[in-house]
């Protein structure tokens, strides 16, 4: 465990009795066992994570009586699936799986390569283009090329990440024509410069459900002082802003 921990932390090797003095301020406990005495001392416990199979060494009666502790476990045993992300909120729709989906990347520089690396970890197929033609990188995207591959990537992508720099050649190059080539269930994710995506056609594509959604880290115009964000972000249900 010490070899794999990459953050500063204190590791204590102790048995079920010796660890009891350390449990008072613990919010999350990872353990294969929970005794009645451990439960009495773990007054702040919010989550018990059992890193293995079987609960025969977990004394459930020893868990704190806070209604939030093991709420998800109890609901699941009643045949109810509650979101683990928003306690007390309505249960959201199930998020789609990334595995098996295609990620398109426009701009295969440092950011694009890092996005691709993470996407492959989720078993996604990666398609990428970059401005200048170059040999396909080793262990790189399944489809890789220059600007001539743009339309093919648009057609294939379930999620499209914009990661290219803003230049005279790239500004406003994502517009009505490009959205029409994308899948109706596809999402656009812009993490670089707003002006690469033509704002009005994006709004239209979202309003008419030509594409499913957009996640924007950048805006054309940022609000000054107090007040709401630009109305573009509030007008539609499936647009995210950061």
Q: What is the pLDDT of residue 88?
A: 57
Residue 199 sits in the same domain as residue 113: yes
With b for 16 or more beta-carbon neighbours within 10 A and e for fewer, the 84-101 pattern comes to eeeeeeeeeeeeeeeeeb
Residue 225 sits in the same domain as residue 128: yes
Q: Domain for residue 5, yes or no?
A: no
Number of domains comprising the chain: 2
Residue 106 sits in the same domain as residue 64: no
Q: What is the pLDDT of residue 75?
A: 74
Structure tokens at 63: 């868990």
Q: What is the pLDDT of residue 222?
A: 63
Residue 24 sits in the same domain as residue 106: no
Q: Tell me the residue range of the domain where 161 lies.
A: 102-241
Residue 133 sits in the same domain as residue 187: yes
Q: Which residues of the chain have pLDDT under 70?
A: 67-69, 71-72, 81-94, 133-136, 139, 222-242
Residue 146 sits in the same domain as residue 230: yes
Residue 184 sits in the same domain as residue 140: yes
Q: Domain for residue 12, yes or no?
A: no
Residue 177 sits in the same domain as residue 69: no
Structure tokens at 148: 């001539």
Residue 58 sits in the same domain as residue 114: no
Q: Domain for residue 39, yes or no?
A: yes
φ, ψ of residue 167 to 5 degrees: the values are -130, 175
Q: Domain for residue 6, yes or no?
A: no
Q: What is the pLDDT of residue 241?
A: 46
Residue 73 sits in the same domain as residue 106: no
């Amino acid at each position: 465990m010490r070899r794999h921990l990459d953050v500063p932390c204190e590791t204590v090797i102790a048995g079920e009795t010796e660890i009891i003095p350390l449990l008072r301020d613990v919010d999350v406990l990872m353990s294969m066992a929970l005794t009645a005495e451990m439960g009495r001392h773990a007054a702040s416990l919010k989550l018990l994570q059992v890193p293995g199979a079987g609960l025969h060494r977990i004394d459930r009666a020893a868990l704190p009586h806070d209604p939030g502790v093991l709420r998800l476990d109890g609901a699941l045993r009643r045949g109810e699936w509650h979101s683990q992300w928003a306690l007390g909120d309505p249960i959201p729709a199930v998020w789609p799986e990334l595995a098996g989906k295609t990620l398109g990347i426009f701009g295969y520089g440092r950011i694009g390569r890092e996005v691709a690396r993470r996407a492959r970890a989720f078993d996604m197929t990666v398609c990428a283009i970059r401005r200048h033609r170059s040999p396909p990188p080793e262990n790189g995207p399944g489809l890789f090329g220059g600007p001539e591959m743009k339309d093919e990537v648009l057609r294939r992508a379930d999620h499209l990440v914009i990661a290219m720099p803003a230049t005279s050649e790239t500004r406003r190059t994502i517009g009505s024509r490009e959205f029409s080539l994308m899948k109706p269930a596809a999402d656009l994710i812009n993490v670089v410069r707003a002006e690469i995506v033509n704002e009005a056609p994006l709004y239209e594509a979202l309003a008419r459900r030509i594409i499913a959604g957009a996640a924007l880290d950048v805006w054309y115009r940022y609000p000054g002082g107090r007040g709401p964000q630009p109305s573009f972000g509030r007008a539609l249900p499936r647009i995210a802003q950061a």
